[in-house]
Structure formats: C-alpha cells, structure tokens
Chain A
C-alpha cells in the first residue's frame, strides 16, 4: 500500500518569531569563582544537546529566569553569551532513522549517527564574575531564539540537553 506521504509536498523552511520554551536551571553554587580562586577564563559547557530539529541561537542569562528573546543582551541583564545550533530540520527518514543507538557496541565500526548529541562551550567569564560579585550561586537560563524551522519540527520546545557545567582556567 502506498505511503500517505508519497504525494505530500514539503514546503520551504522559514524564520520564526515564535517564543520558544525557556529553560532555567536550579541554583548552582559558584563559590569556586570567589576572590580566593583567581581565574582568567570561565566557560559554560553544555553536553548532550539535541540538534535534530530547528536551528536556533541559545541566549544564556545568569540569575534572570524571566529573560525572553526581547531581553537586552547586556551584562546588566545577566547576559553571558550565546551558542548556536545548526539543526537537521526534523526527521526525513523512515521510522527509527533518527534514533541514536546506544554507544560502545562491540564490533560496530560504522560512522557515528549524525544526530549524536552536540557539545557546546560558551565563554562566560565576565558574567560569572559579575554573578559572583552579587551572590554565592547562579541560575542558568537558556532562551532559544529560533532561526530556521519547518512544518516537521516542534519549534516551541527546541532546547534539550543532558547536562551543563562550568570550566575555569587559571
């Protein structure tokens, strides 16, 4: 039996101005950046980011859980930096095509799945120093600003990751 999609014509991807779901972390202690721990650079590393859907800018704000895409990107508003995700644009294969299989399978020498989650590193030195000046912990808010979407992707719930951590350089 013919697939119901055989005659479907996919439309062109486009830019969206919809507000996407904002993520805010629980408070993270930052005593490690206190005055007695001098560092020259601090990064926020985000592990395991899904990049199967829309392309977007992830704007990072510290201690500003109410941030939106309209919030000015300055230190006063806790803006720490941005990362960018170049998304695949949704699954264009058959069922299971975009499912990333478990890693470390013995004798599996094929190239990795293209949707193996992404890793991003954002240098946030100034914003972290500022947060440290004001308190002993920080919340990380990620405001996704969608750059490209299409009819196949959920462009309101775009940011998903496995973990994030700070990395300082002395």
Chain B
C-alpha cells in the first residue's frame, strides 16, 4: 500500500529479494550523473558541498547547537527516496556493528561481497584545488573487536539528557568512521562509501530507540525551527520517523511451549 509505514531492517537480516532490490537501486543511482545520482547526493556531506553537521557548531552563542542527528536523518531520508524512485520496496538497512563473529565479522557481507557489488565501493570524480580524486572508494577496517559494543549503545541509551546523549552517540559514530578508515575515515569523502548509509541508519535507529524511551527529551525548543539545509525540513519535521514514512524492525521470536 502506497501510504503504509515501511520498515528498515538490519543488514544482517536482509532476505535475498531485499539484497537484490537494494543492489539494483544503488547500482541505478550510482549511474545517474544528475541530481538524483549518488555522486550528487554523497557530495552534499563533505566534498564538494560541505553541508554536514557534526559537533556543536554555533557561531552565534556559546550554547551547544546539536544538529548532528536531525541533519543526518534528513540526509538518509533523501537518499532513501532516491533509491525508492528506482526500486519502490527498497529501504536503507542498518549496520549493527555490535554484532560479533560468527553472526557478523565487521562490515556486513552484503556490503563487502566482491564486485560486481554496488555496495562495495563507488568511483568518485572530484576536482579540488589540491588535486583530482578519480578513483574507487577504499576501506582499511580494523579487527571486529575494535567496533563499539552493545554496552556502548546501552550507555548512550541510558543518558536522558539530549546533549549528553548526542555527545555520547556522536563519539560512538566517530569511532566507527575511524574503524572503517579509508574514505569512510574522513569527512570529505565518507558519504561516497555505500556503507556510510548503513552506518548512519544504525545511528538513526539508536536515536529512535532513545526517542521511544524519552520522547524528544530536553531538545532545546529554539532548535526546532532550524532549517536542515539543503533539505526541505526543519528539525521539528524529522523528529517522528513515522511522519517520514518509516520505522525500525523489532525482532520478536515467539516460542510456544506446550504441555504446561
């Protein structure tokens, strides 16, 4: 049904048709040279457009202005809509980096399977005053034991204060970028690696889990009307993921015990 809320699922839980659809959609937008394309959308984060929000960033006062989470939620939504223009059933999966072998060994297999795999890498073409970038994205991941744990996620979720939560979650986020290293390890090119989107879907999911627990917490009211450029949203527009047409899968396994 066109108006139904759609569900994002973990990359480790994707069915084969979901994997096929995701790869088909990524392959298509990676081929577009216009503003529907991956080159354009990935370029909004760092090179060449530099719209991304990290840290507190506030020129006008000493008060913290944490837009890291709302801005990236709007960003994920925008790319997901582009994917769905090609394959309507496609949803961004999350990379649960708390999983350890044998369930998952670092980067999810769907993103690390060898080429041809549009989720493995992307060929960037960028001109900068320092030189040309005309190559595939790269990764140099560390050992899986270096990724954040469920205890790190729980620590974030146990912080009811908005700023405290944001600082803790952004630090976990920063660690994963550095862990993947290569292009994911620098702001300028990170969004060109397809796994960026699975990592940020995990961050967005953790924010949603926090919101389920605390609502919007004590997010400062004067942040609510800040525009999340270049997207067609203010902060208040992205607080409820249901208004954006999606939710996150909760895995429930019902085991019936008979004879009691």
* Given A86-B187, A111-B229, A118-B54, A12 contacting B182 (CB threshold 8 A): yes
- Interchain CB contact (< 8 A) of B128 among A10, A15, A56, A85: A10
B7 at the interface (CB under 8 A from A): no
Contact, CB under 8 Å: A113 / B177 = no
Interface size on B, residues (CB 8 A): 49
Interface assignment of B225: CB less than 8 Å from any CB of chain A: no
Tell me if B140 is interfacial: C-beta within 8 Å of chain A.
Answer: yes
Please judge, given known A-B contacts A55-B185, A148-B181, whether A15 and B57 are in contact too, CB under 8 Å: no
Would you call B64 an interface residue if the criterion is a C-beta within 8 Å of the partner chain's C-beta atoms?
Answer: yes
Q: How many residues of A contact B (CB 8 A)?
A: 48
Question: Is there an interface contact between A114 and B54, defined as CB atoms closer than 8 Å?
Answer: yes
Say whether, besides A12-B183, A147-B185, A148-B186, A55 and B129 are in contact (CB < 8 Å): no
B171 within 8 A of partner (CB): yes
Q: Is B188 interfacial (CB-CB < 8 Å)?
A: yes
Q: Nearest Cβ distance between residue B98 and chain A, in whole angstroms?
A: 16
- Chain B binder among A1-9, A19-27, A30-38, A127-135: A1-9
How far is B55's CA from A83's CA once the two chains are assembled, in angstroms?
Answer: 13
Beta-carbon nearest neighbor of A94 in chain B:
B129
Contact with B along A135-155 (1 / 0, CB 8 A): 000000000000110101000
Of B25-33, B86-94, B131-139, the segment with at least 4 beta carbons within 8 Å of chain A is: B131-139
Shortest Cβ distance from residue A96 to the other chain B in the assembled complex, whole angstroms: 11
Chain A residue nearest in CB terms to B46: A88
Q: List 8 A-B contacts (CB under 8 A).
A: A10-B130, A12-B183, A13-B186, A86-B178, A89-B186, A92-B130, A104-B60, A112-B59
Residues of B within 8 A of A (CB): 46-47, 50-52, 54-61, 64-65, 128-135, 138, 140, 142, 155, 164, 167-168, 171-175, 177-179, 181-190, 229
